[in-house]
Structure 1
Amino acid sequence: MHHEVTVEINAPAETVWRLLEDVERWPEWTASIDRVERLTQGPFGEGSKARVHQPKLPAAVWTVTDFDPGRSFTWAARTPGLTTVASHDVTTHADGTVSVRLVLDQTGPLAFLVALLAGARSRRYVAMEAAGLKRKAELQQ
């Protein structure tokens, strides 16, 4: 399964990035996340791990696999038969607006079954995260 959402945000990229990288506070701006527990200490970056609890989904441990400070991060969660990869990309435009692209990919032998059973929920959660991030970042103006 591949799902992608792009949202335009009328806020500085620094504000948007600060919200994105503070994963433990995501539940404050999206109902698609119940709780996030950082499992590694220190600054959030490549190699960081967090346990993410989402409504009606089993908790998953996500590991940051790619990190470009202020611009993007990708993390992955692996379970037997399924790898889920989520990317978060921040792009600043000449007019000062920001685009955030959220991508969710699921691969592996169980990806088709998971897409059938939970694909609609996963797509809804990505849309909720985009809308919540936009709302929170724009309110901080």
Structure 2
Amino acid sequence: MFAVLKTGGKQYKVQPGDVLRVELIAAEPGEKIQFNEVLMIGGDKPVLGAPLVDGAAVQAEVIDQIKADKVITFWKRRRKHSSKRTRGHRQKLTLVRVTDIVEKGADKTGVKAAIGTRAARLAAHDAPAAKATKKAPAKKAAAESKE
């Protein structure tokens, strides 16, 4: 059995046991996640989604958060402008191992949904703010007890 899932603007054909390098996902290594955007389930009785298969999901385990190889871009303006610019970029990726393909009842499994890159970046930036908000309720509780 195989499934075609969509994550990070790309589509992947997966089977249980496959290891994928996908765009950054907000999850820690060792955590179990679930891809809910399944476009097709193949096997004895293939099921095509329109656009998604209802109730289907692909469950995976996060192995590691990695970076891709460095991509270097170089610009040079010719003639009378002697300017050059070099810039490098390393894309952040998540390494996952597919553990199971769920055909029906994916919403009842209780596994955390795979949240994509934008949410992962926001979660990384909000982590220091979350620590600050934990201290704020203690001050509010003290103020309420004085009233």
Superposition TM-score, scaled by structure 1 size: 0.27
Q: Which has the higher strand share?
A: 2
| Structure whose residues are more often helix by fraction | 1
| TM-score, reference length from structure 2 | 0.26
Larger Rg: 2
